[in-house]
């Protein structure tokens, strides 16, 4: 495809790729010029449409990347957990509590347990290990809806980054001695050796069943089983850079090969 007949993107993830025309995200569809609207209407695929437009293009029958599900479940821990349960994907025991039911938490869970902010808890922020009632009260003061999850003791978890359902990088994240979280932004250390094939298989199966085609999946091995903890659509790039992986170029190659045009 020539630069005069470009692929169309809205979000900026592929800005600078010569084969892609990035239009930007405008709040009103009619703010796009007539030519831009025609390009979107005629495009075989719309890249990074953002959550603002993903559902509209999907309703129109337009192929998008990432998928509608990747947009809808981003930063939505409650929805992700519900989906994992409905698909019978192994996931730690988790319950949600609205404010009038907060007193039921200590009936259902024994200390310690994990509490998360249902939204805006990326990079390990908004994730807490609750050891007593005082810590629980402090957490509950921050959110109307409590997201409570059993604590699976672990020294490390596994992050698998998948693009178009293909693992492009998998690595362990070993927690810092002073923190239960393994996130690299919270002091976790990446390790790239001996990633089990069964974990990669579970990550691919989870991504396919959930229709998450641009995602970082976090898995924990506990009690002889693998559990999917959560899906991160805004996954960090630190480990990718450490391994010399240029994500923009990788997506470009999949686009030009036609892979992104396939279901």
- pLDDT tens digit string along 252-262? 999 999 999 99
Average pLDDT over residues 197-223: 97
Query: CB-based contacts of 124: which residues, under 8 Å, 6+ apart?
Result: 181, 182, 183, 185, 186, 188
Tokens of 66: 């990432």
CATH of 93-150, one of 3.30.1490.20, 1.10.10.10, 3.40.50.300, 3.10.129.10: 3.30.1490.20
Q: What is the mean pLDDT of the chain?
A: 93
Q: Which residues pair with 216 in a beta bridge?
A: 161, 232
Q: Do the first three CATH levels of 93-150 and 154-253 match, i.e. the same topology?
A: no
- CATH code for the structural domain at 154-253: 3.30.470.20
2 falls in which pLDDT band (50, 70, 90)?
very low
Position 185 scores a pLDDT of 55
Tokens of 126: 């908004």
- pLDDT score of 184 more than 70: no
Q: In what order do the strands lie in the sheet with 45-47?
A: 20-22, 7-9, 45-47, 63-65
236 falls in which pLDDT band (50, 70, 90)?
confident
Q: So where are the chain's domains?
A: 7-65, 93-150, 154-253
Average pLDDT over residues 44-54: 97
Average pLDDT over residues 41-70: 97
5 falls in which pLDDT band (50, 70, 90)?
low
Average pLDDT over residues 90-107: 97
- pLDDT score of 183 more than 70: no
Average pLDDT over residues 197-208: 98
For tokens 């699976």, the residue is: 152
124 falls in which pLDDT band (50, 70, 90)?
low
Average pLDDT over residues 125-154: 95
- pLDDT score of 114 more than 90: yes
119 falls in which pLDDT band (50, 70, 90)?
confident
Position 116 scores a pLDDT of 95
**Pairing status of strand 166-174 against strand 189-191:** antiparallel
């Amino acid at each position: 495809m020539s630069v005069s007949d470009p692929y169309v993107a809205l979000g900026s993830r592929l800005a600078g790729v010569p084969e892609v025309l990035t239009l930007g995200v405008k709040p009103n569809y009619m703010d796009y010029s007539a030519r831009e609207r025609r390009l979107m209407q005629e495009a075989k695929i719309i890249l990074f449409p953002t959550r603002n437009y993903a559902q509209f293009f999907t309703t129109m029958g337009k192929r998008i990347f990432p998928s509608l599900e990747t947009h809808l479940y981003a930063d939505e821990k409650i929805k992700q957990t519900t989906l994992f349960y409905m698909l019978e994907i192994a996931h730690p025991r988790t319950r949600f509590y609205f404010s009038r039911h907060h007193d039921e938490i200590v009936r259902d869970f024994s200390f310690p347990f994990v509490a998360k902010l249902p939204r805006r808890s990326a990079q390990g922020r908004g994730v807490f290990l609750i050891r007593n009632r005082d810590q629980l009260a402090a957490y509950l003061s921050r959110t109307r809806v409590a997201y409570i999850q059993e604590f699976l003791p672990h020294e490390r978890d596994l992050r698998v980054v998948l693009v178009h359902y293909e693992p492009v990088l998998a690595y362990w994240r070993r927690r810092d001695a002073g923190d239960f979280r393994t996130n690299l932004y919270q002091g976790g250390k990446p390790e790239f050796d001996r990633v089990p094939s069964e974990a990669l298989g579970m990550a691919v199966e989870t991504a396919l069943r959930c229709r998450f085609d641009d995602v970082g999946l976090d898995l924990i091995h506990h009690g002889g089983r693998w559990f999917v903890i959560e899906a991160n659509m805004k996954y960090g790039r630190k480990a990718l850079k450490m391994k010399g992986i240029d994500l923009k170029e990788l997506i470009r190659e999949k686009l030009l090969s036609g892979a992104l045009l396939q279901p």
